[in-house]
Amino acid sequence: MISLIRLWLRDWKEGWIGPALLLLLTTGWLLIVGTIFVHSAADGPEGGFPGPYASSHIKKIIVGLVGMLVLTFIPSKQFEKYSAAFFWGTIGLLGLLLLWKWAQGGVVRWIRISGFGLQPSELAKISTTLLVAQLLRNGERLRQWKSLLKVLAMAALPFLMIAAQPDLGTALILAPTIAAMLWVGGLDTRKFITLGVAVLLLVGSCGWPLLTNYQQDRIKTYLGIGEVALESAGGYQVAQSIIAIGSGGPTGRGLHLGSHHDLGYLPEDHNDFIFSVIGEEWGLVGTISVLLGFLVLVLTMLGVAWNCRDPFGRLVAVGVATQIGFQAIINQAVTVGLLPVTGMPLPLISFGGTSIVVTLMGIGIVISLARKPVEVIHPDGLQRGTSPVIHRPIRAQVHPDQL
């Protein structure tokens, strides 16, 4: 273990030029924007910067950045080695929450000890990604239905446990993540379509009765079905969000000058609807800068996956990129009324604890993959050349007996 630590410390300067640096810069930009608007939305200019909310936000960012930097020095083989232990540890935490819910009732999503809060559902997003990548790395499990269904059952376990809290928004992020990993892993198109149709039929026939009343009300409000009070179904929040974004115009009203959210018309303005605050104070220019930030972040991660010759690393990079991308899209779509209210924060920007830390951990894992790509033995023993995908370089080693 000591020799590994010495090796990591010796190699800390290597591999930062390229995707790793771009990921760091883009992440830094989004964190800065988030800190500015958490202060603007929750603290205001009266007490000066940073204020109580921004101070708490910065502390969580520091914890997340430390975790991210530590993970950038860990080889991907270590992530693969301990993925199962991490997954089952997370399942244990989710199980404790469900036991507490069964005993006390109500909504239980956090483990709180002496002022410290932990949201296991956020950890489950990363641990499930790592485990599924480990299970799908050799492609064998995608060839037979029996093995494929075992993988899906493993992925469904945290999904069901998170949805039972209830936290359907976080649970739903796992669906596109697993779908993207199956597709990139090489699942046959016919099987992929069959699974998609089966899931849609299952959700359509059994999903609605399992939703809580407020979840059903949000969907009804979104679809315009029945008479549901806007305040209880999130319609009021969406209406005020659209007003705030529209009032910003092209360049916004200016930092700390967003009167609509300052007057209290926009609930959760520092959390789920922080994108609306950005739209009001920085206008179209500010919202586009945030969209471009997420676009560069996700595309860079997909580029890391494209260049990664190790199946495990490629699947992990795709999974993390899908999680961050879909969560950002869903949050922004909710603020303009394109989707029902889900209670999902905007990654790296919304005020939050475990969400920011876990998102930075995921980015740290991808940076590790970008810094030190795993060198693999090509089946043909090729040392130089291109793979069947045009212009995709082969990073391979050749055994001495093959020279």
The pLDDT tens digits of the residues spanning 35-55 come to: 998 888 877 767 667 778 888
Only one residue has tokens 């500010």, namely 286
Give the C-alpha distances (Å, rounded to integers) separating 156 from 134, 147, 160, 162, 270. Answer: 16, 14, 6, 10, 31
pLDDT at residue 23 tops 90: yes
Strand partners, 117: 112
Residue 155 has, within 13 A of its CA and on its CB side, a CA count of: 27
- Written as six digits, the tokens of 39 are 């202060």
Mean pLDDT of 169-175: 87
What DSSP string runs through 95-124? HHHHHHHHHH-S----EEETTEEE-HHHHH
pLDDT at position 302 is 93
Domain residues of the chain, as ranges?
Answer: 16-373
pLDDT at position 372 is 75
Look at residues 103, 108, 154 and name the one whose alpha carbon lies nearest to residue 129: 154
Range with lowest mean pLDDT among 130-144, 152-166, 179-193, 343-357: 130-144
pLDDT at residue 143 tops 50: yes
pLDDT at residue 59 tops 50: yes
pLDDT at position 166 is 77
Strand partners, 207: none
Contacts of 252 (CB under 8 A, 6+ apart): 258, 279, 280, 281, 282, 283, 285, 286
| 8 Å CB contact between 319 and 135 | no
pLDDT at position 87 is 93
Look at residues 220, 348, 370, 216 and name the one whose alpha carbon lies nearest to residue 274: 348
> d(Cα 30, Cα 349) in Å, to the nearest integer?
6
> d(Cα 281, Cα 36) in Å, to the nearest integer?
11
pTM, rounded to two decimals: 0.83
